Amino acid sequence: MPILPSYSCSGGEQSVFRETKLLMGTVVEIAVVGQSGERSRDAIREALEEIARVDELVSTFKQGSVVSRLNREGAIGKVSVGKEVFFLIRAAAAISEASGGAFDITVGPIVKLWGFESGGARPSEVILGKVLPLVGYRNLNYDENSYAVGFKTSGMQIDLGAMAAGWAADLAIEKLKARGITAAIVDAGGELRVIGSKPGGIPWRIGVQDPRSPGELLMTFDLGDTAVATSGDYERFFMDGGVRYHHILDPATGMPARGCRSVTVLAPTAAEADACSTAAFVLGPERGIAFLRSRPGVRGFIVDEDGDLHWTDEALERMARR
Ligand code: AMP
Ligand code: MG
């Protein structure tokens, strides 16, 4: 988990209630501030159910998910994916446009080829060369009236792994808000969203992992209402001949993106933070920072391949505690 929240337990009449569950192939942790344990735990349960629902929609590992159906049938004709997945895919395509194609959810075929989920192995150049032309967000077709998406090319596959956890955190926060919760943190495997503060007005504190010793924290931040996501080359990788091959792929080459060890992004929503951290990682330190700066309400920092830090703004750098 790139980001580990630390919690105080209680203050005044309010307490922090927390639960952890394995969902979406990662550790999901929800903490809620409330007076009533029963109401807080009910709200957490509902938020966890919401994350499980998102997984049922977007997982590429579940054959019955909407995304799996799209990947099977999208080249035959447009597939109705429902309003929320439709607009998630449209939002992803907008970030593809804004990042010059660095972020691209049609990386599905090369993600499968590398197989990081099951350890990973270098694909042959011949096979990579055959699969790479299948990648291209511009080859997605849309029908806004029926919320349907299709593929212009047979063999295309979408993979929402770069923003699904963030999106799930946002939807979980909406569930908590609907239950009257005003202070909470939802951490979906390091992509997280924060509202309110801990009891006594103490801000939530989140830690960012050191990409070269992930058990240790590089720095911490005290946060108000915001979302944070980290993309790192230490999350899913293998070493071969002293070279690190990791799961964040450059759609232009089909190879792991070079130049960064990790990218941490703060944004108004976790879906945006999640997508932007992946996009900036692929763009590399200089273009990545320029990309983050170009987006309203988005800020962050990059640990480059030498371990040097690059910041979008000095105010954020001053907020970091090391
Ligand atoms: P994250 O950890 O949020 O940066 O997301 C990484 C995951 O997103 C990978 O495991 C892939 O499933 C997918 N992915 C890899 N490269 C890209 C890319 N360039 N654009 C969009 N998704 C990607
Ligand atoms: Mg991401």
Q: What is the pLDDT of residues 204-240, one digit of tens each?
A: 999 999 999 989 999 999 999 999 999 999 999 999 9
In angstroms, what is the span from residue 253 Cα to ligand 1's centroid? Answer: 14
Region of residue 38 (phi > 0: left; psi between -120 and 50: alpha; otherwise: beta): alpha
- Residue 3: what pLDDT? 42
In angstroms, what is the span from residue 31 Cα to ligand 2's centroid? Answer: 22
- Residue 4: what pLDDT? 46
- Whose tokens are 């996501």? That residue is 229
pLDDT tens-digit map of 138-176: 999 999 999 999 999 999 999 999 999 999 999 999 999
Region of residue 191 (phi > 0: left; psi between -120 and 50: alpha; otherwise: beta): beta
pLDDT tens-digit map of 80-129: 999 999 999 999 999 999 999 999 999 999 999 999 999 999 999 999 99
Residues with CB under 6 A from ligand 1: 103-105, 107, 111, 159, 161-162, 231, 235, 247-249, 251, 274, 277-278, 282
| Rounded Cα distance, 135 and 66, in Å | 20
> Which atom in ligand 1 lies closest to the alpha carbon of residue 116?
10
In angstroms, what is the span from residue 13 Cα to ligand 2's centroid? Answer: 37
Q: Which ligand has its closest atom nearest to the C-alpha of 114?
A: 1
> Which atom in ligand 1 lies closest to the alpha carbon of residue 108?
12
- Residue 13: what pLDDT? 86
Whether the pLDDT of residue 260 is over 60: the answer is: yes
Token readout for 97 is 């446009």
Q: Which ligand has its closest atom nearest to the C-alpha of 99?
A: 1
Identify which of 165, 95, 86, 83 has the alpha carbon closest to the alpha carbon of residue 137.
95
* Mean pLDDT for the stretch of residues 179-193: 97
**Contact status, residue 316 vs residue 271, Cβ threshold 8 Å:** no
> Which atom in ligand 1 lies closest to the alpha carbon of residue 166?
3
- Residue 214: what pLDDT? 84
Mean confidence (pLDDT) of the chain = 95
